[in-house]
């Protein structure tokens, strides 16, 4: 059997996390540090250096979407801007909640923690048990076991209230741990495929006063020339202005607390989206695309091309969309969730 990798020096790891959390440093300059962090957590979490195998190598298709396999979930840590902005935003949210609280630790429910608990363990290293208390859940027992090994190796158990292997959409909140913050990133671009919407909807129903991170996810309809939009030059300029060769039509779906509460009495397989009117399109090269904008918390945002979560996707439509058309959108729930055009008028 292969030997375990050496345990990273805790002081070095804390220094690394503090650098990643430093708002004065651009996330684009910290890719190496995020890779070092992920490698350190991997060395602590996996029983075998080749990673998880067997049943853990397969994703789980749930009634509410695809739950990524642990090894695939682990690669999300390599999405540096995503990891950094989530960590910075969550830390800021914890600080704000603690300042407004009743004196106890801020209770964070982290749903879909994956094998590294990458959005929680770094914060546990720099926050005390008096400031923050985490509950970690994941549908895959292998991920929970890996996260537990990391937390044990780093002596962080005092910052953890509970850890459970459970589908987040079936999780029952502990009455002694009603979350102040619900932290979950189980999503793909445009809120397709994975169960982010269903998870947030379920967890917020049990802790309605909780702050959800991401605070808002917005899916926008944009018309652009795919040849230009998906060129190497365009992709290299993250967050490039929507006025640069794009026609912005409007938001078609928004996930935030207000939206979730508005769906309280909605049953069935569809959630209401928004309607947009298509303005003048320059020519036939302009095709409908969905863009994703993520507000992690306040000023901590992830825009187009800054993360795999915000790469634009082509919008499939059975009808040709022309200038002047009114498009009405819905969100499909179930095992293949996503935004779609419900009607064209």
For 27-78, write each residue's pLDDT tens digit: 999 999 999 999 999 999 876 534 455 545 668 999 999 999 888 877 888 8
The pLDDT of 113-134, averaged and rounded, is 98
Residue 133 pLDDT level (bands cut at 50, 70, 90): very high
For residue 323, what pLDDT is reported?
87
For the ranges 254-268, 278-292, 301-315, the lowest mean pLDDT is seen at 278-292
Q: What is the mean pLDDT of the chain?
A: 91
pLDDT of residue 49: 39
Start-end of H helices in the chain: 10-20, 31-45, 70-75, 80-100, 121-126, 141-153, 196-206, 226-229, 232-236, 257-262
Of residues 46 and 285, the one with the higher pLDDT is 285
What is the rounded distance in angstroms from the CA atom of residue 262 to the CA atom of residue 87? 29
Q: Which long-range contacts (CB under 8 A, 24 or more apart) does 309-312 make?
A: 309/79, 309/82, 309/185, 309/187, 309/188, 309/189, 310/189, 311/189, 312/189, 312/222, 312/224, 312/229, 312/230
Say yes or no to pLDDT of 25 above 70. yes
Q: How confident is the model at residue 320 (pLDDT cuts 50, 70, 90)?
A: confident
Residue 228 has pLDDT above 80, yes or no: yes
Quick one: what percent of the chain has pLDDT higher than 70? 90
Mean pLDDT in residue range 249-271: 97
Task: State the pLDDT at residue 78.
Answer: 85
Tell me: pLDDT of 318 over 90: no
Q: What is the pLDDT of residue 198?
A: 98
Say if residue 3's pLDDT is above 60.
no
How far apart (Å, rounded) are the C-alpha atoms in residues 133 and 323? 52
What's the distance, Cα to Cα, between the start and end of the chain in Å?
Answer: 64
Are 345 and 325 within 8 A, CB to CB?
A: yes
In the prediction, which pLDDT does 7 show? 58
Rounded to 10°, the helix 31-45/80-100 angle is 80
- Tell me if 75 sits within 8 A of 41, measured CB to CB: no
Predicted local distance difference test score (pLDDT) of residue 1:
36
- Which pLDDT does position 107 carry in this prediction? 98
Is 284 exposed, middle or buried (CB count within 10 Å of its CB: 0-12, 13-18, 19+)? Answer: exposed
Is residue 245 predicted with pLDDT exceeding 70? yes
- Does pLDDT of 345 surpass 90? no
Task: Decide: helix, strand or coil at residue 175.
Answer: coil
| pLDDT > 80? residue 80 | yes
d(CA 259, CA 149): 37
Q: Summarize the confidence of residues 147-162 as an average pLDDT.
A: 97
Percentage of residues in the chain having pLDDT higher than 90: 77
pLDDT value, residue 57: 63
Q: Is the pLDDT of residue 168 over 80?
A: yes
Q: What is the pLDDT of residue 307?
A: 96
Predicted pLDDT at 238:
57
Residue range 175-180: average pLDDT? Answer: 91
Judge whether residue 112 has pLDDT over 70: yes
Backbone angles phi, psi at 28, to 5 degrees: -70, -15
């Amino acid at each position: 059997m292969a030997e375990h990798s050496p345990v990273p020096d805790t002081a070095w790891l804390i220094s690394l996390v503090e650098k990643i959390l430093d708002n004065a440093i651009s996330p684009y300059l910290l890719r190496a540090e995020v890779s070092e962090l992920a490698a350190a957590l991997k060395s602590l979490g996996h029983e075998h250096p080749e990673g998880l195998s067997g049943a853990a190598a397969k994703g789980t298709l749930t009634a509410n979407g695809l739950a990524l396999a642990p090894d695939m979930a682990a690669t999300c840590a390599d999405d540096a801007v995503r990891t950094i902005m989530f960590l910075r935003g969550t830390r800021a949210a914890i600080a704000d909640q603690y300042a407004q609280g009743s004196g106890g630790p801020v209770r964070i429910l982290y749903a879909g923690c994956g094998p590294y608990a990458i959005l929680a363990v770094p914060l546990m290293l720099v926050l005390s048990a008096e400031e923050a208390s985490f509950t970690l859940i994941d549908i895959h027992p292998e991920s929970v076991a890996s996260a537990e090994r990391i937390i044990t190796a780093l002596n962080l158990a005092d910052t953890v209230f509970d850890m459970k292997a459970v589908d987040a959409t079936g999780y029952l909140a502990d009455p002694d741990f009603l979350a102040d913050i619900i932290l979950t990133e189980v999503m793909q671009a445009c809120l397709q495929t994975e169960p982010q919407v269903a998870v947030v909807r379920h967890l917020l129903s049990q802790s309605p006063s909780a702050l959800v991170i991401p605070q808002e996810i917005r899916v926008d309809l944009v018309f652009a020339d795919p040849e230009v939009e998906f060129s190497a030059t365009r992709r290299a300029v993250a967050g490039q202005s929507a006025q640069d060769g794009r026609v912005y039509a409007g938001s078609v779906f928004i996930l935030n607390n207000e939206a979730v509460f508005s769906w309280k009495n909605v049953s069935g397989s569809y959630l209401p989206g928004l309607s947009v009117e298509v303005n003048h399109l320059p020519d036939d090269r302009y095709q409908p695309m969905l863009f994703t904008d993520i507000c992690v918390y306040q000023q901590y945002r992830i825009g187009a091309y800054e993360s795999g979560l915000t790469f634009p996707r082509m919008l499939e439509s059975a009808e040709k969309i022309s200038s002047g058309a009114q498009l009405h959108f819905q969100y499909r729930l179930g095992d293949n969730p996503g935004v779609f055009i419900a009607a064209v008028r």
